[in-house]
Amino acid sequence: MHNHVVCIGECMIELRQRWDGLLDRSFGGDTLNTAVYLARLGVSVDYATALGEDPWSDEMCAAWSREGVGTGLVRRVPDRLPGLYIIQTAPSGERSFLYWRDNAAARTLFDPPHGAALGERLARYDMLYLSGITLSIYADAARESLFGALAAARARGARVVFDTNFRPRGWPDRDLARKLYRQAFAQSDIVLASVEDLAPLFGPDGEAELAVHAPGAERVLKLASPCVRIAGAGPEITVEAQPVARVVDTTAAGDSFAAAYLAARLVGHGPAAAARAGHRLAGAVVGHAGAIIPATAMPSPEPPP
């Protein structure tokens, strides 16, 4: 299929703490958030993960289908449950996360004997999207299967997109994290990075790490100020974001930026126009609570540049 995308990772039950101490329940996960926003932007997208056989897993699959996200690569695992996380949001809109995910079904996605068969199916897609969080949830053998699938897909002409989303608690071994991130850089055609993600891993040399290990990739780096610097796709450019009047919750700002950026690139827009589309969607997302905003809150399409 033309421009058929698969997002690989984990979706969890999301509990958001309200001002009165009560919790609102939803679901979310970085690559799932991107898949939903891609679908809303008209991209043909499937989600590859593993879930349990419980009612909440059923609820997730049904919700994804309603959003237009394909669930044919969702493996259901008996006696496992989805992971869970709680979002705590500061008055500034910045958020922190508490996780319960050690035995989550998603961790088994690439376990043998399923990993090899899944790799063959992934190789048929035009674009494969994963994140640093995706890498953090698998065991060593499963990661080897994942990297093998990425290599096979690229050999068939697919593009691999790696989003650097870095969560320190998912990486108790920083040396391992650095090794795997470099491996992901080397196997990527587009890298969506941020100085916030790279600094804990590589210190002030994070951007240099990208240039060294992903020299042929399109490198989109979110800076400390609200702008991105794009290299590797022609002349280096910087694209600033428009000011956002009201920040409620920054959850999924990066995930939605990734979706809009990739959706624009898939239909042939240049990096600058794609970055503007990413900024625009992310600006709408941070004005709402939770990872997935109401469909009615999606910004209207911008006219072609």
CA distance 24 to 13: 11
- Tokens at 218, concatenated: 């399109």
CA distance 14 to 221: 28
Pairing relation of β-strands 4-8 and 44-51? parallel
Annotated active-site residue 102? The verdict is: no
Strand partners, 12: 28
Strand partners, 7: 47, 129
Report whether 245 contacts 282 (CB < 8 A).
no
Torsion angle of C-alpha atoms 289, 274, 266, 60, degrees rounded to 10: -10
**30, 46, 163, 255: which is the annotated catalytic residue?**
255
Identity of the amino acid at 251 = T
CA distance 167 to 114: 27
> CB neighbours (10 Å) of residue 66?
10
Report whether 142 contacts 115 (CB < 8 A).
yes
Active site residues: 255
